[in-house]
Chain A
Amino acid sequence: MHHDAKPPRLRRDGRAAALFAGPSLIGLTLFTLFPIVLSLVMAFFQWPAVGERTFNGLENFATLFTDPVFRRALLNTLLFVVLYLPLNLIVSVGLAVWMGPRIKGRKALRVVFFLPVVTPMVANAVVWRMIYQPNGLIDGSLYAATGTHAPNFLGEQGWAMFAVVAMSVWQGFGYNMLVFSAALDAIPRHLLEAAQIDGAGPWRQFFRIMLPMISPALFFATTMTLITSFQIFTQPFLMTGGGPGNDTETLMMFVFDKGFSIYQFGLASAGAWIVFVLILGVTAVQFAGQRKWVNYDV
C-alpha cells in the first residue's frame, strides 16, 4: 500500500512553521540574542554614548576590579543574596506549611501575602521609606512607647542593608510561598496520616516527608530567587540611593550608573557580564548539587 510508505508523521510544516514561529524568532533574535552578543563586544571596548569607540581588551575589567566602588557593590550584592535568599525561603516555606488545609481562610491569606508581589515596587519602596525614616512609623511608635528613638534605618551605617533586605523579603516572599503551598497541597494525604499513626511529631513529618516531597519546588524557587536577587536594583535605588556612603550600592545600580549617568557603555557592559558569569556559576553549582537533595521520584 502506497500511503503506508508516507504516513502523516512525516508531514513537514515548514512554511506554516515559518509563519507561526517567525514573529517570536525575529523578536528574540533582535531583542535578546543580538543584544547579548553586542554586550559582550562592548565589554572589550571603550564605548562612549557618542564619539569614538576603541578596542581596549581587558582594560574595562581591570578598571572594575581596581575600582573600590565596584568591589563594594560586588560585596554588597553578595551580602544581599546571602541574607535575602535564606530569609525568603524560611519565611515562605514556614508560612506555606502553617497555612495547611486545616486553616480557615487560607485562600484569602494567600492573596494577602501575594499583594506586595503585584504592587509596583516603587509604591512599596516609597511606603517603606516612610516606615523607616526618623519620625516614621517605627521611630514614631517606639518613641511613643519607650521615649527613645529608633536608629535611622536607611541613613545609618550597619542598618541600611538590613533594612533593604527586610523590605525585600516582605515584598517578595509571597511568590515562593504560593509555589510551596501548591507543592504541599500535592503531597498525598495518606503519607502524612501514615506518619502520624507511626507516631511522627510535626517536626519529623516536616523534615522527613514535607521537605523531601517539595524539594523540586524548593530547587526551582531557589534557582529563580537567586537569579533575580543578584539583580537587586529598585529597592536600594529608591530607598537609599546606594547610601549611606556606598553601603547599599549594588552591582545593578553600578551598571545603571556607569551606563546611564556617565554613559560609559563599555565599562557598564563589563560589569554586567561579571554579574552574568556570577549568576551562571551559582546556577551551575545549584544544578550540580541538586542530585544530592532534590527528589523527583514521587
Chain B
Amino acid sequence: MSDHAVRRVRLVISHIALYLVAAAFLSPLVYMLATSFKRPDEVFGSPPSLFGSVFRWQNYTEAFEYLPFGRFVLNGFAVAVCGTLVVLVASATSAYAFSRLRWRGRDGVFLVFLATLMIPQEVLVVPMFMLMKWFGWVDSYQALIFPWAFTAFGTFMLRQFFLTIPEEMSESARIDGAGAVRVFTSIMLPLIRPALAVLAVFTFINFWNSFMWPLIIINSVDEKATVPLGLQMFFGQQGTQWNLIMAASVISMAPTAGLLILLQKHLVRGIATSGFGGR
C-alpha cells in the first residue's frame, strides 16, 4: 500500500473510533430520552432495552400533573429572563464606564472588580442568606434574581469588546456634542451586539440551571421553585417514578440544549474569545 493509502485508512479508522466515542458519550442522554417514553414497570431490566413495549407519551403529561411542573417551568423562564436582563444592563453600562469614560480611580476600582471573580460562591451563600433575611427576601423571586446578577464577569467580558472599538468612533461623536448616554446607546451598544447575545445566552443558561441557591432560599417549593429544584422534588416522593423524572429531565434540558444547537457558532466563538462559563 502506498503511503497515501495508509494515511487514508488511518483517517477513516480515526473517524469511526471518534464517532463511537461520541455515541458512548451520548448514551446517558439517550438513556434519559428512552426511559422518558417507557412504562414504569419496564424502566429497569436485564438486559436494558432501548424501547419499552409501548411508546408512552403520557409520561410527559403526567409529569406535569404529578407535580406543578408547568409552574416550575414558568418560574424558571421568568427568573432566568429577568436575571439575564439585569446582568445585561449592569454589565454593559459598567463595561462602558470602565473602558470609554474617564474618571478618577477607574482602574483601581476595576481591579477590585476583577478580584471578586476569585471569590467562590461557597463563601457567599451563608452571609447572602443572612442578607436576604434582613431584606425580608427569604422565599421570594427577588432572591432568585438579584443576589447573583452582579458578578464581575459580564463587565469584564463586555469591556474587552468595548476596547476593540476604535476610540475615534466614540470620541468624534463626543466632540460633535453627543453626550455619554447618546454615544453609549447609538454607537457602542450596536457594535457589541454579538457579545451581548453570547453573554445573554450563557447568563440565561446559568440562571436556568442554578440549583444550590434556590434549594437554600426557596421554602414554598410548590409555588416558587425553578426547574432544577422541582426536578429534585421528584426524588423526595415515595416510590421514585423514574419514567416521569426522565420526562421532566428531558423538558428541563430542552431550552438550554435548543439554545446550544441553534446558536452553536456564536457560543463556541464566545468561549474561545472570552473563556466563558466554567464548571
Chain A interface (Cβ within 8 Å of chain B)? 8, 11-14, 16-17, 19-25, 27-28, 30-36, 38-39, 42, 49, 95, 98-99, 102-105, 107, 109-124, 126-128, 130-131, 135-137, 139-141, 143-145, 170-172, 175, 178-179, 181-183, 220, 224-225, 227-228, 230-231, 233-234, 238, 251-252, 255-256, 259-260, 265, 268-269, 272-273, 275-276, 279-280, 283
Contacts and interface: CB of A to CB of B under 8 A. Distances in A.
Contacts of B44: 135-136, 140
Range, interface on chain B: 35 or more
Nearest to A172: B279
A276 B94 contact: no
B12 to A, nearest CB: 10
Contacts of B27: 137
What 8 A-B pairs have minimum CB-CB distances, sorted nearest first? Answer: A27-B150, A182-B272, A144-B47, A24-B94, A16-B180, A21-B97, A35-B127, A20-B97
A175 B271 contact: yes
Contacts of B147: 31
Contacts of A23: 89-90, 93-94
Nearest to A32: B116
A29 B39 CA distance: 52
A55 B277 CA distance: 38
Contact of B257 (A107, A118, A231): A118
Given A39-B124, A140-B44, A21 B257 contact: no
Given A25-B94, A118-B209, A140 B46 contact: yes
Given A21-B97, A119-B256, A256 B212 contact: yes
Given A122-B252, A127-B246, A31 B209 contact: no
Contacts, number: 297
Given A24-B155, A36-B127, A183-B272, 8 more contacts: A17-B103, A23-B89, A33-B112, A34-B127, A95-B21, A115-B260, A126-B231, A224-B275
A179 B152 CA distance: 21
A8 to B, nearest CB: 7
Given A130-B242, A175-B277, A16 B46 contact: no
A126 B235 contact: yes
A28 B152 contact: yes
Dominant secondary structure at the A interface: helix
6 contacts: A12-B104, A20-B180, A23-B94, A123-B231, A127-B249, A140-B45
Contacts of A269: 123, 126-127
B52 to A, nearest CB: 14
A211 B179 CA distance: 48
A31 B268 CA distance: 30
Interface string B210-250: 01100010000000000111011011000000100110010
Nearest to B28: A127
Contacts of A30: 131, 150
Contacts of A175: 271, 277-279
Contacts of B21: 95
Contacts of B151: 28, 32
Contacts of A268: 126
A139 B46 CA distance: 8
B131 A38 contact: yes
A98 B151 CA distance: 35
B124 A35 contact: yes
Contacts of B65: none
A129 to B, nearest CB: 9
A21 B158 CA distance: 13
Contacts of B116: 28, 32-33, 36
Nearest to A10: B102
B56 interface: no
Contacts of B193: none
Nearest to B184: A20
A19 B179 CA distance: 12
A31 B25 CA distance: 38
Contacts of A283: 118
A121 B91 CA distance: 26
Contacts of A233: 212
